[in-house]
Amino acid sequence: MIELGIPQSCKIDKKLFKKQFTENFSLNVNERKILTNYIESITLEYLLNKDKINIAPYVDEDRDYTEIAFITVEILDKSKQKAISSIIQYIPYPIILFLLYENELSLNISPKRINKSDSSKLVVEESIVSEWINLENPTVIESEFLKSLEIRNHPFINFYALYNSYLDKLIAFNASKHSGTLNVREDTKILLDEIAVCEAKTNELKAKIKKETNFSDRVNLSIELKKVSGRLNDLKGNL
């Protein structure tokens, strides 16, 4: 676990057992397999609530941010990063999730809203993960990002503001591979989403071109690929 500067009053350092997930959540066959085979350990590192730190809860009709958990998961396969994050995020409160694979780290944040049909449950709105960071040899931007995760770099207005600040830092880091900086704008998240769509479309078109045997169809696909690639470069340039 990297240094976050969180007060010791919030320290939990408690192991969570895989059995707790199988007993409390409706995991499908694949999720059970991933839980069993690709997770080494799960640790609740910190739990922040109004009794442990001077930050106000935030609750409205859509959101319940009365506490935030910081959890570390040691994993055995980097390619299972997103699937493992999804399993851990079944825990029904806001989580800042750190995935560790040997000497590499990835961050996952999944904003949640209240389930209208069952207010005791939270529903994941989206899941955002970072690329892997080699903790033994981080780049300058990676080092800046890790430093930015220290709690003193975030607002103490309420837990929702704190959580969103961590989310903004993650979005800025994901955008930095295109922009070269950790600056974040109001439309950074929108641009990143559009980039992901264009990248997926680019890969799809390249695969189709590779398989296409009709010359005319290959030309049309190539023209479309050029347009999508141009749009992709424009989006990256706007970050």
Look up the pTM and report it: 0.81
Are 78 and 124 part of one and the same domain?
Answer: yes
Are 135 and 33 part of one and the same domain?
Answer: yes
Classify residue 90: in a domain, yes or no: yes
Which of 151, 179, 207 represents a domain boundary (last residue)?
179
pLDDT surpasses 80 at 184: no
pLDDT surpasses 70 at 199: yes
Are 119 and 85 part of one and the same domain?
Answer: yes
Classify residue 195: in a domain, yes or no: yes
Which residues have CB under 8 Å from 237's CB, separation 6+? none
Are 151 and 206 part of one and the same domain?
Answer: no
Classify residue 200: in a domain, yes or no: yes
Quote the DSSP letter at residue 66: S
Neighbours of 17 (CB within 10 A): 10
pLDDT, mean of residues 32-60: 97
d(CA 88, CA 116): 22
pLDDT, mean of residues 229-237: 86
pLDDT value at residue 191? 82
Which of 194, 201, 200, 173 has its CA nearest to residue 238?
A: 194
Which of 70, 88, 72, 71 has its CA nearest to residue 34?
A: 88
Are 44 and 107 part of one and the same domain?
Answer: yes
Structural domain count of the chain = 2
Mean pLDDT for all residues in the chain: 92
Neighbours of 40 (CB within 10 A): 10
What's the pLDDT tens digit per position in 116-133?
Answer: 777 667 889 889 999 999
Are 117 and 154 part of one and the same domain?
Answer: yes
Classify residue 1: in a domain, yes or no: no
pLDDT, mean of residues 200-226: 91
Q: Which residues are 74's β-sheet partners?
A: 41, 100
Q: Residue 222's domain spans which residues?
A: 188-238
Are 200 and 153 part of one and the same domain?
Answer: no
Most confident of 71-80, 174-183, 197-206: 71-80
Are 26 and 140 part of one and the same domain?
Answer: yes
Classify residue 3: in a domain, yes or no: no
Are 213 and 153 part of one and the same domain?
Answer: no
Are 78 and 160 part of one and the same domain?
Answer: yes
To which H or E segment does residue 105 belong? strand 104-109
